[in-house]
Amino acid sequence: QREWIEAIISGVENNQIPLNKEILALVTCIISIESGFHADPLAIDPSRGEDMSMILERAERDIAQKLGTLMSVPPIPHFYNIYKEKYYPLIMSCRTEGDVESVAKKVVEDLKKDMAFLPDFMKSILDKELNKVRNVIRTKGSMQLNFPRAIQIMRERGEAFTEDELRDYMYTLNGGVDVGIAAIRPMFVQYAARYGTPGNRSWLFFVGMDYHYGPFSSRNMMEQIRIRDFSGRDIPIDGDFLHYDDSGLPANKESETLKAVTSFFPKTDRSEIFQNFLLEKHPHYIYTNTHQRIMSYHQAKFGPTPFAIIGDLWMGESAQIKHGATWKTQAYLKKLDKLLNSVPWDQANQF
């Protein structure tokens, strides 16, 4: 227990957040939900009544659906059976997510060698999948942070980790907490500035929700409601103004939110709106011209709105593999609410 306390305090200080009971309690709640205080979390949650074979079956179905007829083109079936025979027992014996990562690393190393014997069109297809295999555990460490997001956050903090170094760091007690707190920091600071009055800690729920959904999702969902109100378009309220690829980069596909705003403000250059939307995962979005226009128009027509809202979202593809196709984030929100409300705030030490 003492090691975890020291890791949390160290992580808060390392990310230049003043020590206070709000940040300490929130981080503790998130670690409890995400990993149950395991630096290298269990690969399977026993409370869900599943085992590794069920996850592998879902992953196999996903591969078959993605690659389709390619799975029957020689020599793919031959290689697939060899890999399954070699690695299936190793994966079945994995106890932690770090164990799974180790096996995935070996699979990728073998695939890179064997791809030399494949036709060029197969190489190009499989090459795109190698990074997904290497990062089959998309969320890592005690705070289960999305790995592409962790890479970006550490770069923004000026750290010079390679991907392998960062992966290893996140599976240490101090590293997993440090990187997780770095992801919390922008939301914590902005929501504290907006809502942080004495005795009011409801804003911590927004921070915890955004840590789980994605940076500033609760703020952005409120923005999408404003856009939906004045545009009349039935846009998704999902916290994302743009579409993103698996690496967290904007995808080459125009989102409904972008279409709605560009059509409603035709005199505003589309490139300006797009550039402003690129800041949707950052604190600075609220200072953009696009946000100011949206706020000004909506308030004039509909009146004041809250800064952020609580929503319920479906998880993406990687979460479906791990948790099943019907898994939603509502369970996370209920746990967060329960834990935050169980904190003895009045008895906590003052910093």
**Segment 19-41 mean pLDDT:** 96
**Per-residue pLDDT reduced to its tens digit, 300-315:** 999 999 999 987 655 4
Q: Provide mean pLDDT across the span 176-183.
A: 98
Task: Quickly state the pLDDT bin for 32 (edges 50, 70, 90).
Answer: very high
- Average pLDDT (332-337) is 88
Range from 127-141, 192-206, 267-281 that averages highest in pLDDT: 267-281
Q: What percent of the chain has pLDDT over 90?
A: 66
State the chain's mean pLDDT as an integer: 89
pLDDT digits (tens, 9 = 90+) for 253-278: 899 999 999 999 999 999 999 999 99
Span 94-136, pLDDT tens digits? 999 999 999 999 999 998 888 888 888 888 878 878 888 888 8
The mean pLDDT of 227-231, rounded to a whole number, is 96
Q: What is the pTM of this model?
A: 0.87
Position 205 pLDDT exceeds 80: yes
Residue 327 has pLDDT above 80, yes or no: no
Note the pLDDT tens digit of each residue in 55-81: 888 788 888 887 788 888 888 888 889
Q: How far is it, in rounded angstroms, from Cα 97 to Cα 137?
A: 7
- Bond into 75 cis (ω within 30): yes
Judged against a pLDDT cut of 70, whether residue 350 lies above it is answered with no
Mean pLDDT along residues 146-153: 93
Residue identified by tokens 């096996």 is 103
Rounded alpha-carbon distances, angstroms, from residue 111 to 87, 98, 117: 12, 20, 10
Alpha-carbon distance of 281 to 198, in angstroms, equals 27
Residue 325 has pLDDT above 90, yes or no: no
Greater model confidence, 249 or 221:
221
Q: Using the predicted structure, report yes or no on whether residue 229 has a pLDDT greater than 90.
A: yes
Q: The tokens of 148 are what?
A: 């592409």
Name the residue with higher pLDDT: 316 or 346: 346
The set of residues, in sequence order, having a beta carbon less than 8 Å from that of 47 and lying 6+ positions away, is none
**Whether the predicted pLDDT of 316 surpasses 90:** no
231-234 contacts, C-beta under 8 A, 24 or more apart: 231/260, 231/261, 231/263, 231/264, 233/259, 233/260, 233/263
Which ranges of 39-75 would DSSP assign to H, the alpha helix? 52-67
Quick one: pLDDT at residue 321? Answer: 39
